[in-house]
Amino acid sequence: MAENAWKLQDAKARFSEVVRLAKEKGAQPVTKHGKTEVYVVAAEEFEKLRAANKPKRTGQAIVEAFRDPRIRGLEFQRDSVYSPIRDVPIFEEEETPAK
C-alpha cells in the first residue's frame, strides 16, 4: 500500500481535500481493502500523461510501421468497389444584357 494513501471511505468523505492535495502535491492514491485502486490527479497532470502516451500520427510513423518485420510478407485482399460515373452537368450560359 502506498504511503499517505486514502482509504476509499475517507476519500469519499473528504473529497474536496483529496482534490486540493492532488492539485498542490500531486497524485493521491486511493485504496480499497488495502490495495491501491485509483489515483486522483490534477487535470493538468492528467493531460500531460495523456499527451505523452498519445501515438504519433505522422507520415513518418506510417513509414516506420511498414518497416516492422512482423508485417513483412503479409498478403492483403483488396475489395474493389465500382460506382457508376456520373456525367458532368452542362450549364447553359446566361446572356448578360449589353451596357
Q: Report d(CA 20, CA 42) in Å as an integer.
A: 9
Task: Give the residue from 35, 46, 38, 47 showing the smallest Cα distance to 11.
Answer: 38
pTM of the model: 0.54
Average pLDDT over residues 82-97: 79
Contact by Cβ (8 Å): 77, 71: no
User: What are 29-85's pLDDT values in tens digits?
Assistant: 999 999 999 999 999 999 999 888 887 778 888 788 888 888 777 787 878 888 888
pLDDT for 2 equals 63
pLDDT for 98 equals 67
pLDDT for 7 equals 97
Task: Give the residue from 28, 26, 56 showing the smallest Cα distance to 44.
Answer: 26
**Topology annotation, domain 6-66:** YefM-like fold (3.40.1620)
pLDDT for 1 equals 59
User: What are 6-28's pLDDT values in tens digits?
Assistant: 999 999 999 999 999 999 999 99
